[in-house]
């Protein structure tokens, strides 16, 4: 595990918090529906910040740490595609007004970061105390990859347990009142649907973290790198949401790329566990030499090939199917 200077870690966290606060202030002061150009520019800014951070890590902590950050950031960014699908579903289901969607997403992402931070600390402690946890993480990721391939794209999305419980116990209005969590209706104080949306985004993201956090721990054991990779991956999701719009629903092969990444890192975790832990029933309790460590650059290549390949294949199919959809639309007129 790479050694990171304390000054660099503290300075990085302060800078990240400052960027998040500035972003939150900008959104709060100017609520609007961003254009494609604006969204694309902001996505570029956050990608640029992540690359600058990787360069600084290269200078202050070395190539190994920088490589782990880039691989972890790309992994979290690719797995966060699922978050975007959830954002689209939640915005449509709760009929969130477009004018406040930016603020809702920003608050939801902040909640997700706090929950993930707790999850990362727990995961790092488990790894430090129980190195065999890598076997469980690896098996879980491989199983998740299989489930990703078997997932029915048309399956109905149901509200989570927390949201259903909240609906039964708390009085809600049917309409939003800007960004207010509570409002007065017929002289009685009610919560607005905003509370349900924020809780739904936060708790759903935590479920996705059950996959993504073990996945990035398969690349690095540094809790700092895991957290910063998550921050930089999630910070640009709001702009990516408006940039991609409905395109994600048409990238039909993305789930295969995500499944490949999860399966690869799952196997990598198991190999790492075999490399680090002694198995007394093999080789008389000695370390098993045939369980190699997969280098970070290999992980980086697999992640890039999986996501670029899945995206290109989806776009090729989209272009091939476009004349068919156009002809069908004309025939129905």
C-alpha count within 13 angstroms, C-beta hemisphere, residue 24 = 13
Q: Of 155, 231, 238, which is closest to residue 201 (Cα–Cα)?
A: 238
The pLDDT of residue 296 is 66
Ranges assigned E (strand) in the chain: 182-185, 188-191
Predicted confidence (pLDDT) per residue in 209-251, tens digit: 776 777 778 788 888 888 899 888 888 788 888 877 656 666 7
3-state class (DSSP) for residue 191:
strand
Amino acid 154: pLDDT: 45
First to last CA, the chain: 63
Q: What are the tens digits of pLDDT across the range 164-175?
A: 666 677 777 777
Return the structure tokens found at 116.
Answer: 């993930």
The first and second tokens of residue 174, run together, are: 């049917």
State the Cα–Cα distance between residues 88 and 156, nearest whole angstrom: 14
- The pLDDT assigned to 221 comes to 80
Under 8 Å between Cβ of 212 and 86: no
The pLDDT value given to residue 56 = 92
Which parts of the chain have pLDDT scores under 50?
153-157, 280-281, 287-289, 329
List residues bridging with 182 in a β-sheet: 191
Please tell me the predicted confidence (pLDDT) of residue 288. 47
Dihedral of CA 106/116/15/2: which sign? negative
Copy the structure tokens of residue 274: 């075999």
DSSP 4-38: --HHHHHHHHHHHHHHHHHHHHHHHHS-----HHH
CA distance 291 to 278: 11
Residues 261/308, Cβ–Cβ less than 8 Å = no
**Three-class SS state of 237:** helix
Residue 5 CB neighbours (<10 A) = 10
* Assigned token pair, 32: 């609007």
Predicted TM-score (pTM) of this structure: 0.69
Dihedral angle sign, alpha carbons of residues 13, 16, 18, 24: negative
């Amino acid at each position: 595990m790479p050694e990171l200077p304390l000054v660099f870690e503290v300075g990085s966290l302060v800078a990240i918090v400052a960027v998040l606060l500035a972003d939150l202030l900008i959104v709060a002061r100017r609520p609007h529906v961003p254009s494609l150009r604006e969204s694309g520019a902001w996505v570029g800014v956050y990608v640029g910040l992540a690359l600058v951070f990787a360069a600084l890590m290269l200078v202050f902590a070395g190539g190994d740490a920088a490589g782990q950050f880039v691989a972890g950031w790309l992994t979290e960014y690719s797995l966060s595609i699922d978050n975007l699908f959830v954002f689209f579903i939640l915005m449509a289901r709760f009929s969130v007004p477009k004018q406040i969607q930016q603020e809702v997403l920003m608050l939801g992402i902040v909640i997700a970061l706090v929950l993930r931070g707790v999850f990362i600390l727990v995961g790092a402690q488990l790894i430090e105390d129980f190195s065999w946890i890598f076997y469980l993480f690896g098996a879980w990721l491989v199983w998740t990859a299989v489930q990703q391939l078997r997932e029915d794209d048309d399956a109905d999305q149901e509200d989570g347990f927390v949201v259903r419980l909240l609906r039964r116990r708390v009085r809600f209005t049917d309409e939003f009142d800007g960004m207010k969590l509570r409002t007065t209706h017929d002289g009685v104080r009610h919560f607005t649907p905003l509370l349900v949306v924020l809780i739904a985004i936060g708790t759903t993201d935590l479920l996705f973290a059950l996959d993504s956090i073990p996945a990035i721990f398969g690349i690095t054991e540094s809790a700092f790198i895991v957290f910063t990779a998550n921050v930089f991956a999630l910070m640009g999701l709001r702009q990516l949401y408006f940039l991609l719009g409905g395109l994600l629903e048409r990238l039909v092969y993305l789930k295969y790329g995500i499944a490949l990444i999860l399966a690869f890192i799952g196997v990598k975790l198991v190999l790492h566990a075999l490399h680090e832990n002694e198995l007394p029933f093999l080789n008389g309790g000695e370390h098993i030499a045939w369980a190699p460590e997969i280098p970070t650059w290999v992980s980086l290549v697999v992640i890039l090939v999986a996501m670029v390949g899945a995206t290109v294949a989806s776009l090729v199919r989209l272009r091939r199917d476009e004349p068919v959809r156009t002809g069908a639309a004309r025939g129905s007129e």
